[in-house]
């Protein structure tokens, strides 16, 4: 399998700022850095279904 097509890491500062905007608080000890890896297995099938759904709206 290939590596991820897209990778996104959300550091503590971004998470804290997100929580702060909604009036919540986040302690550094409460947070573990989050990494999101996106893998595509059947890109053509996914794209085909997205076009189908757009046509239904």
pLDDT computed for residue 40 by the predictor: 73
pLDDT at 2: 74
**Selection from 2, 7, 1 nearest residue 38 by Cα:** 7
pLDDT digits (tens, 9 = 90+) for 1-42: 677 788 889 999 999 999 999 999 999 999 988 888 888 776
Q: How many CB atoms lie within 10 A of CB 4?
A: 13
User: What's the pTM?
Assistant: 0.56
- Answer for the pair 16, 26: CB distance below 8 angstroms, yes or no: yes
pLDDT exceeds 50 at position 57: no
User: What pLDDT, on the 0 to 100 scale, is given for residue 25?
Assistant: 93
């Amino acid at each position: 399998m290939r590596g991820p097509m897209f990778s996104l890491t959300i550091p503590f500062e971004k998470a804290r700022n997100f929580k702060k905007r909604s009036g919540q608080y986040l302690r550094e000890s409460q947070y573990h850095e989050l990494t999101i890896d996106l893998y595509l297995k059947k890109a053509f099938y996914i794209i085909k279904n997205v076009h189908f759904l757009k046509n239904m709206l």
